């Protein structure tokens, strides 16, 4: 149980770094470059995924699988499903419940965290 808690904690720490990258790039794209907020969300997400893959591979799961490209593709698949969930939750909370955009994004990240952790634990880094 401790091992699961510790890896989830590390996954969360990596996620915070990814969230900073995601939020930062989303903000730059949306506010400064005037890109559509959902496209900006995808840009921030994409950069965070690459960062998170390498940090999770090395630190969270200490994985030494030599098939890095295949493993990254699995991570990307999990992340794309997560992005779909993230975008759906973001849309529903922001548009349907009238919650502010960035708070809606935070809620979506929290929900998708659970999906991403267990999908990566059992699929990507098994």
**In this structure, what token pair is assigned to residue 126?**
């098994």
Please state, as a whole number, how many other Cβ atoms lie within 10 Å of the Cβ of residue 43.
Answer: 17
Give per-residue pLDDT as tens, 34-77.
Answer: 999 999 988 998 899 999 999 999 999 999 999 999 999 999 99
Alpha-carbon distance values, 72 to 20, 58, 60, 68, 125 (Å)? 21, 13, 15, 6, 10
Secondary structure letter of residue 53 according to DSSP: H
Give per-residue pLDDT as tens, 82-120.
Answer: 989 999 999 999 999 999 999 998 899 889 989 999 999
Domain residues of the chain, as ranges? 2-124
């Amino acid at each position: 149980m401790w091992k699961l808690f510790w890896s989830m904690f590390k996954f969360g720490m990596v996620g915070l770094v990814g969230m900073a990258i995601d939020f930062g790039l989303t903000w730059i794209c949306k506010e400064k470059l005037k890109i559509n907020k959902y496209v900006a969300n995808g840009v921030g997400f994409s950069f965070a995924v690459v960062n998170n893959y390498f940090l999770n591979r090395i630190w969270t799961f200490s994985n030494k699988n030599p098939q890095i490209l295949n493993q990254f593709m699995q991570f990307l698949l999990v992340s794309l499903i997560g992005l779909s969930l993230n975008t759906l939750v973001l849309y529903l909370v922001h548009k349907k419940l009238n919650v502010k955009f960035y708070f809606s994004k935070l809620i979506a990240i929290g929900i998708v965290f659970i999906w991403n952790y267990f999908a990566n634990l059992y699929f990507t880094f098994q």
